[in-house]
């Protein structure tokens, strides 16, 4: 009998927890926002992932040059390509920022603007570090 009581209580708890999202006040920007490939969010995320990948690749390339795995000429060729790719991605991010701003009635999103500014700064540093 006690097993049925405990089992029943677990069932009630499960139902309550599962139904909870339908009754609570919804905050903005929930991570459960359905994905719509036609919006800019997916593209923006892709750009960010690619950009991070390029920064990491450049760091590894630097280490490889220091370890003697890549000569200076090859380093320069590859690093130049990475910088160009990073610049393209920053521009793409700026374009997405502009799209976000036009979709929103107010000004551009502060967080995203900071993000793009950070990317620009990082790109500038990369160019400064180039021999």
Partner 1 sequence: MADLGSITMLLAIALAVYAGIGSLVGQWRHAPDLLASARYAAYLTPLMLVTAMLVLVAAFVDHDFSLRYVAGNSNRAMDPWLTWVAFYAGNEGSLLFIAAIFSGAAALAIRLAPDEVRPALPFTTAVLMGVTVFFTGIMMTMANPFYELPVTPPDGQGINPLLTHPGMFFHPPMLMSGLVGVGLPFAFAIGHLLAGQTGDEWVDTARTWGLVVWATLTVGLLLGAWWAYTILGWGGYWAWDPVENAGLLPWLPLTAFVHSIMVQKRRGMFRMWNIALIILAWGFAMYGMFMNRGGPVPSVHSFGQSTMGWVFLIFLAVNLIGAFAVFFWRYERLKSAAPLESRLSREAAFLLNNVLFLMVALVVLWGVVYPLVTDVFQGVIVTVGQPYFDIVAGPLFLALVALMGVGPLLPWRRASASGTMRLLRFPIIVGIIVAVIAVALGARAVLPALAFGVCGLAAAGVLREWVKGTQVRHTRGEGWPTAFGRLIMSNRPRYGGYIAHLGIVLLAFAATGSSFYSVQEDFSLAPGERAALGSYEVEFLGSSSTPRPDRIERRAVVQVYKDGQPLEQLQAGFAFYPAFSMAATRAGIRQTPVEDLYVLASEFTPDGRALFRVHINPLVVWLWIAGPIMVLGTVVSLWPERQRAAAALPAMRAMRAVRATG
User: Binding marks (x or -) toward partner 1, 62..81, rule CB under 8 A?
Assistant: -xx-xxxxxx--x---x---
The reply to whether 121 sits near partner 1 by the rule CB under 8 A is no
The reply to whether 128 sits near partner 1 by the rule CB under 8 A is no
Number of residues that bind partner 1 (CB under 8 A): 62
Binding residue (CB under 8 A) for partner 1 from 80, 84, 118, 121: 118
SS3 content of the chain, % helix, strand, coil (to 5): 75, 0, 25
CA of 18: how far to CAs of 3, 7, 8, 32, in Å? 22, 16, 15, 15
The reply to whether 107 sits near partner 1 by the rule CB under 8 A is no
Give the CA count within 13 Å in the CB-facing half-sphere of 44: 18
The reply to whether 104 sits near partner 1 by the rule CB under 8 A is yes
Structure-token pair, residue 94: 């700026």
User: Binding marks (x or -) toward partner 1, 28..57, rule CB under 8 A?
Assistant: xxxxxxxxxx-xxxx-xxx-xxx-xx--xx
Of 27 and 128, CB closest to partner 1: 27
Spatial separation of the C-alpha atoms in residues 29 and 26, rounded to whole Å: 9
């Amino acid at each position: 009998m006690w097993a049925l009581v405990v089992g029943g209580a677990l069932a009630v708890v499960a139902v309550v927890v599962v139904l909870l999202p339908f009754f609570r006040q919804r905050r903005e920007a929930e991570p459960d926002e359905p994905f719509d490939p036609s919006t800019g969010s997916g593209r923006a995320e892709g750009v960010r992932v690619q950009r991070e990948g390029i920064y990491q690749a450049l760091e590894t390339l630097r280490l490889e040059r220091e370890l003697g795995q890549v000569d200076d000429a090859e380093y320069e060729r590859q690093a130049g390509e990475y910088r160009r790719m990073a610049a393209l991605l920053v521009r793409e991010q700026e374009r997405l920022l502009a799209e976000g701003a036009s979709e929103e009635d107010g000004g551009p999103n502060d967080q995203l603007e900071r993000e793009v500014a950070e990317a620009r700064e990082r790109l500038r540093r990369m160019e400064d570090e180039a021999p």
